[in-house]
Amino acid sequence: MSFFKQIQSALISVYDKSGLEEIIHLLAKQNVKLYSTGGTQRFIEDLGYKVTAVEDLSSYPAIFGGRVKTLHPKIFGAILYRRNNPADVEEARNFEIPDIDLVIVDLYPFEKTLASGAAEDEIIEKIDIGGISLIRAAAKNFSDVMIVPAMEYYAELLHVLKENNGFTKLETRKTFAQYAFQVSSHYDSAIYNYFAQNDAHKALRLSKNNVQNLRYGENPHQKGQFIGDLNELFEQIHGKPISYNNLLDVDAALQLISEFKETTCAILKHNNACGLASREALKDAYAAALEGDPVSAFGGVIVVNKVIDKPTAELMNQLFFEVLIAPGFDSDALSILIQKKNRILLLLKKIDIYQTSVKSALNGFLVQERDTKTEQIADLKCETAICPNEKEMEDLVFANIIVKHTKSNAIVLAKDKQLIASGAGETSRIDALKHAIDKAKHFKLDLSDAVMASDAFFPFADSVETAFKNGIKCVIQPGGSVRDQESIDFCNKHHMAMVFTGIRHFKH
């Protein structure tokens, strides 16, 4: 049942005055009595309208440099008293507390101030006290009061005021109360995370306001959403709506490509690289990446770290793929790539990925730092009599980056900065290696002088034995097994080189 109430008075206290003018004009036209504070009061007066200062309502001045303006029983009583409760009505009459039917607030910009790198004193001053209290009070009393908690809701307020000629429905006020607690909880989460940023035992407080409904989740029978602002990272310039599974692959693709400075192309399927290569020319990097596994590349996600040119686009256009991510597209390349109407093209703006990973597990969450450690040549320790040469070292680092981003148990075989094959997500390390070798042979890729990378130590010497039998002479692994010496001894006996990183890269 719709319970209509007429807005006869409004308290307006906003930090940012943008978009407020049209609301003031409409409220004045509808004969709404206006109350306001400080800068907002002056803004309304400059528009030529009469407004009552909250100090006149409370008979108490703003104090402490404006820290205390609206925090007064007369103001909060005007918002919180229950109009259908005889005792509340009587108290309001006795204390000469008026009705406030509409509250409009735009909070101090705490997050923007924090992001600006401001000093702590300035950050603290941008913690809104009065505004957040007004929001909570008005939202709690939605039966009688309409709350507009941020400027992003101004357009919806204008629609309500115009459509109902200054009246509001109960269900509308309740919807705006929901907005209010969304704003207040997000605001408080940001403040808490600022204060707890160095606390190793801090509670989990995540808050994102942008919600994008997806076609479905991992499977058609599952609902799915993305919560966050994808527009900060990229612009979709072509194709069908992006899906849940697309986004998982895009996330994996961006984490992987961010590791490379050379011209590089990676092709991913189910979050794992099935092709990757670095070359001087982008078209050559794509061709070498595709060569690694042209079967798995079908329907995959492609990511590059250079602008797509026409020669590269012509090659890519021969393959069916779901998503292409690039920092730019030449116009003649774009005209080729948009020929497939469903093909998703993402223009990358920046790579900005959370440094904390959160997964739901059991009746709670698992939280960890992202694996941001990437070993360089200087970090590698040669454990064998023969050590890798400069070219082999470069391939070892290259392979180690890929295996870091591959589902465990993982083995990567690489050569000349090209992913030859990988074994991903196997339940044993030797099976991961055998799978990689079989795949390389299936696509007739030469394993002689290739290098092998493992995401974790070898529990037995069987992996280096199998690698040697297939022409692999160089190995990179974390080390740390009680049986490391068996692998080292085998390598020494067969003139293989092996380096340890000391860093495990499990990925589940």
pLDDT tens digits, 274-298: 999 999 999 999 999 999 999 999 9
Contacts of 369 (CB under 8 A, 6+ apart): 355, 356, 357
Ramachandran angles phi, psi of 295, nearest 5°: -75, -50
**Confidence (pLDDT) at 1:** 40
**Confidence (pLDDT) at 189:** 95
User: Of the ranges 7-21, 199-213, 251-265, 433-447, which one carries the lowest mean pLDDT score?
Assistant: 199-213
Distance (Å, rounded) from C-alpha 315 to C-alpha 344?
17
Contacts of 103 (CB under 8 A, 6+ apart): 10, 11, 12, 79, 134, 135, 137, 138, 145, 146, 147, 148
**Confidence (pLDDT) at 16:** 93
Q: Which residues pair with 6 in a beta bridge?
A: 167
Q: Which residues pair with 367 in a beta bridge?
A: 358
Beta carbons of 138 and 147 less than 8 angstroms apart:
yes
Mean of pLDDT over the chain: 95
3-state secondary structure of 313: helix
Distance (Å, rounded) from C-alpha 399 to C-alpha 501?
12
CA distances from 86 to 81, 89, 90, 92, 249 (A): 10, 5, 6, 10, 60
- Tell me the DSSP string of 330-348: -HHHHHHHTTSTT-EEEEE
Distance (Å, rounded) from C-alpha 508 to C-alpha 498?
26
Mean pLDDT across the stretch 23-29?
96
| pLDDT-based confidence at residue 267 (cuts at 50, 70, 90) | very high
**Confidence (pLDDT) at 64:** 86
Q: Is the pLDDT of residue 366 over 50?
A: yes
Mean pLDDT across the stretch 258-268?
97
Ramachandran angles phi, psi of 265, nearest 5°: -130, 135
Taking only the tens place, the pLDDT of each residue in 299-317 is 999 999 999 999 999 999 9
**Confidence (pLDDT) at 2:** 52
**Confidence (pLDDT) at 207:** 87
Taking only the tens place, the pLDDT of each residue in 131-166 is 999 999 999 999 999 999 999 999 999 999 999 999
Distance (Å, rounded) from C-alpha 368 to C-alpha 372?
11
Q: Which amino acid is at 318?
A: Q
Q: Which residues pair with 422 in a beta bridge?
A: 412
Mean pLDDT across the stretch 24-34?
96
**Confidence (pLDDT) at 225:** 95
- Tell me the DSSP string of 436-459: HHHHHHHTT---TT-EEEESS--S
User: Of the ranges 60-74, 108-122, 232-246, which one carries the lowest mean pLDDT score?
Assistant: 60-74
Catalytic residues: 140, 270
Q: Which amino acid is at 119?
A: A
The Cβ-side half-sphere exposure at 341, using a 13 Å CA radius, reads: 0
